[in-house]
Amino acid sequence: MRTFAILAFALTTLALPAQAEISISEIGRYLNSFRTAKAEFTQVNPDGTISTGDLSLRRPGRARFDYDAPNKSLVIAGGGQVAVFDPVSNTPPEQYPLSQTPLSLILADSVNLNSGMVVGHGGDATQTSITLQDPQNPQYGNIQLVFTPSPTTLRQWVITDDTGSQTTVILGDMQAGASLGSGLFNIPLEMQRRGLSN
């Protein structure tokens, strides 16, 4: 009798619908559903320290991270470059090509998740993660995005850089469709504002 009960439970469990993750096509639809977005963020740095600030995104290719005190750093992606401004330095910002960072994958004009960039995808009814990597340049690292369902919402990402270091950005409530002027993402304009020159 006990064996029958166990078998019946197993068959019932198998008959239950699987708690599926968000599909890749739905994630692609979501990422392409907005051109601009704003959110507060909490960043966990590779050394374990924590920073907070405000994030602004404007696709294609533009992002701005305004860090709160005491950090007060500024990171701008724009014009195909990423610039890191040091608040206590009078020297020009450190710059490198946006194309060499995993963040460029979600700042593309159109995010194409069928182009061989998906190297990981999984989850359950509560959250789904998808890992993206440039198939032509895997040495640049990858970005893992985490979403919650109903409606699909981006909650965080983890960037693994070319050295293997990981930076986690946890997003607050994201405001899609925000009005963001192009000047926010203009690196030369920010340098001029700060009295910096190349």
The answer to whether residue 2 is domain-embedded is no
Largest CA distance in the chain: 83
Residues of the chain with pLDDT under 50: 1-17
Residue 58 lies in a domain: yes
Tell me, yes or no, whether 59 lies in a domain: yes
60 in a structural domain: yes
- Alpha-carbon distance 105 to 101, whole Å? 8
Residue at 169 is within a domain: yes
Q: Which domain holds residue 85?
A: 27-176
User: Quick one: pLDDT at residue 180?
Assistant: 95
**Is 167 inside any structural domain?**
yes
Query: How many independent structural domains does the chain possess?
Result: 1
Distances (CA, A) of 156 to 40, 42, 124, 143, 169: 11, 9, 16, 10, 5
pLDDT per position as a tens digit, 156-197: 999 999 899 999 999 999 999 999 999 999 999 999 999 887
Separation CA 58–CA 47 (nearest Å): 29
CATH code of residue 32: 2.50.20.10
Is residue 168 domain-resident?
yes
